[in-house]
Amino acid sequence: MDNLNLRRPKLVFFPSKCPEPTPGRSAEDYRVYASYRPGTSGRFMGTLKVVRVTDGRLLFPFDGAEELGPFETKEAAKNAAAIRGREIVEADLRSPEL
C-alpha cells in the first residue's frame, strides 16, 4: 500500500455553449488536410478534412459524405482530395454553412 501513487483525476471543463457560427472571409480562414490511404486491390482512396478555423466547424467529412476514389496512384488520390477541399472552401465562402 505504501508504494501506490494515487493521483486525483484531472478535471476537464467543457464550454457551456458552442461558439457562434462565424463564416470565413477568405481561403485563409480554412484548413484543408488532403491525403490518401490504401484501398482495395492495390488502389488508393483520397482522404480529406476541411475545417473552418473562424469557429472550428468541421465541414468535411460529414455523415454520408462521398468517398474519394479509388485511384491508381497515391498522387492522384491526394490531388483529388485537394481539389475537392478547394471546392468545399469556395462553396462555403459563397454560401456559409451555419
Per-residue pLDDT in tens (0 to 9) along the chain, 98 residues: 555 556 666 666 666 666 788 899 999 999 999 999 999 889 999 999 999 999 999 999 999 999 999 999 999 999 999 999 999 999 999 999 88
**Nearest CA-CA partner of 93 in 32, 26, 45, 38:** 26
**Assigned domain for 89 exists:** yes
Q: Percentages helix, strand, coil for the chain, rounded to the nearest 5?
A: 30, 25, 45
**Residue 22 within a domain:** no
- To 5 degrees, how large is the angle CA 40–CA 41–CA 43? 70
Q: According to the model, what pLDDT value does residue 73 have?
A: 96
Residue 10 covered by a domain: no
Indicate the pTM of the whole model: 0.79
| Residue 33, in any domain of the structure | yes
In whole angstroms, what is the distance from residue 51 CA to residue 65 CA? 15
Give the domain range for residue 34: 27-94
- Count of domains observed in the chain: 1
**Looking at residue 49, what is its pLDDT?**
97
User: Residue 21 has what pLDDT?
Assistant: 86
Which are the contacts of 40, defined by CB distance < 8 A and separation ≥ 6? Answer: 70
Residue 83 in domain? yes
Per-residue pLDDT at 41: 87
15 in any annotated domain? no
> 46: domain CATH number?
3.30.160
Q: Would 76 be classed as within a structural domain?
A: yes
Closest by alpha carbon to 88, among 44, 48, 39, 53? 48
Predicted local confidence at residue 8, as pLDDT? 67
pLDDT of residue 2: 56
Q: Tell whether 68 is covered by a domain.
A: yes
**What single letter denotes the amino acid at residue 10?**
K
